[in-house]
Amino acid sequence: MNQAPVLDVKELRTSFISSDGEIPAVDNISFAVHKGEILGIVGESGCGKSVTSLSIMKLVPQPPGKIVGGEILLNGEDIVPASEKRMRQIRGNDIAMIFQEPMTSLNPLFTIGNQLVEGIILHKKVNKKEAFKIGVDMLKLVGLPRAEQIMKEFPHQLSGGMRQRVMIAMALSCDPKLLIADEPTTALDVTIQAQILTLMKDLNKKLDTAIIMITHDLGVVAEVCQRVIVMYAGKVVEEANVREIFKNPKHPYTVGLLQSVPDVREKKDRLYSIPGNVPKPGTVLKGCRFAARCEKAHDRCFVEDPDLYKQDDGHYVRCFLHAGGEQ
């Protein structure tokens, strides 16, 4: 892709400062997102996905959190040093975010219309009547029937799936260049999850908005993303296009994650999950962070930290088994 990326994250490090010192939750991660692209960020719970997305929004709770290094280039502007005033312009206008549980971002005391209109007025130079019309159009765009009626309703009157559609409408109502969706379907049942993912794909095609889709589920990645980065313990361990990663996963962690994706053709009682847990940030002081759980670990893995090695097919893998390129 030759076009300059919408977002270019370079060697980002975000830490939490505690009495034990600086604990790195996101440790030197780099990735770019281009116009119209859907990038997946996948990894188990605790790998640093949300801290990454909150860092991009500059919403990491500070203290104890802090971006301690790197750059976050939004259309070429490094927003790491940006003021809170500048960030308020950027949030909603340039980058919007949706979360797992829409109830946490919707105010239960105000109607959907109130909240939509308020956001639109804040970010677009329109009056209340125009904002209302844009709001109704957005609700229609995200596939909500009887949009005018929903404008008058309160969040608790809607189902979880409808609330997530409202959140997507709100996020997109100001034409952001980038939408960050942090586990947007995790709280929804499977059928509604599929509908929301289809909606996000359709909107991405229609509006050309770049999307970062954060998920613990490679099934979601397969469904919507073109490219994916796999995160483990605060680091990127593999990056590839989605077709490649399913056809030819290289990092032992990715292989494990793939084995835990439910396969509809196989009716297994229990799904495979990788034995052990993601180490807490700052606890693996030496060697590969996956070594304690890795079937392929060898002596070197416990003393040296692997780099992110470029493969002949454009894949990147942080594992000594792939240090020499294609294997």
Ligand X SMILES: Nc1ncnc2c1ncn2[C@@H]1O[C@H](COP(=O)(O)OP(=O)(O)O)[C@@H](O)[C@H]1O
Contact of residue 221 among Mg ion, ligand SF4, ligand X, none (CB under 5-8 Å per partner type): none
User: Least Å distance between CB 10 and ligand SF4?
Assistant: 24
Buried (b) or exposed (e) across 163-180, using 16+ Cβ within 10 A? bbbbbbbbbbbbebbbbb
Contact of residue 25 among Mg ion, ligand SF4, ligand X, none (CB under 5-8 Å per partner type): ligand X
Q: Which is nearer to ligand SF4, 116 or 297 (CB)?
A: 297
Burial of 252 (C-beta count, 10 Å sphere; 0-12/13-18/19+):
buried
Q: Contact between 281 and ligand X (CB under 6 A)?
A: yes
Q: Please pick, from the candidates 306, 311, 315, 316, the single residue that binds ligand SF4 as defined by CB under 6 A.
A: 306
Q: Please pick, from the candidates 14, 15, 50, 52, the single residue that binds Mg ion as defined by CB under 5 A.
A: 50
Q: Contact between 316 and ligand X (CB under 6 A)?
A: no
Q: Three-state DSSP class for 96?
A: strand
- For the chain, strand residue ranges (E) read 7-18, 21-33, 38-42, 65-74, 77-78, 95-98, 178-182, 210-215, 227-232, 235-241, 309-310, 316-317
Contact of residue 92 among ligand SF4, ligand X, Mg ion, none (CB under 5-8 Å per partner type): none
Burial of 97 (C-beta count, 10 Å sphere; 0-12/13-18/19+):
buried
Strand order in the sheet with 77-78: 21-33, 7-18, 65-74, 77-78
Q: Contact between 67 and ligand SF4 (CB under 6 A)?
A: no
Q: Strand pairing of 227-232 and 38-42?
A: parallel
Q: Contact between 53 and Mg ion (CB under 5 A)?
A: no
Q: Contact between 294 and ligand SF4 (CB under 6 A)?
A: yes
Q: Contact between 297 and ligand SF4 (CB under 6 A)?
A: yes
User: Least Å distance between CB 246 and ligand X?
Assistant: 21
User: Least Å distance between CB 284 and ligand SF4?
Assistant: 11
Q: Which is nearer to ligand X, 50 or 311 (CB)?
A: 50
The rounded distance, in Å, linking the Cα atoms of 16 and 22 is: 6
Q: Which is nearer to ligand X, 80 or 207 (CB)?
A: 80
Q: Which is nearer to ligand SF4, 135 or 306 (CB)?
A: 306
Q: Please pick, from the candidates 5, 43, 176, 184, the single residue that binds ligand X as defined by CB under 6 A.
A: 43
Contact of residue 321 among ligand X, ligand SF4, Mg ion, none (CB under 5-8 Å per partner type): ligand SF4
Q: Please pick, from the candidates 99, 132, 290, 316, the single residue that binds ligand SF4 as defined by CB under 6 A.
A: 290
Q: Please pick, from the candidates 152, 280, 296, 298, the single residue that binds ligand X as defined by CB under 6 A.
A: 280
Q: Cβ(118)–Cβ(112) under 8 Å?
A: no
Q: Contact between 55 and Mg ion (CB under 5 A)?
A: no
Q: Cβ(31)–Cβ(39) under 8 Å?
A: yes
Q: Which helix (H) or strand (E) holds 192?
A: helix 190-207
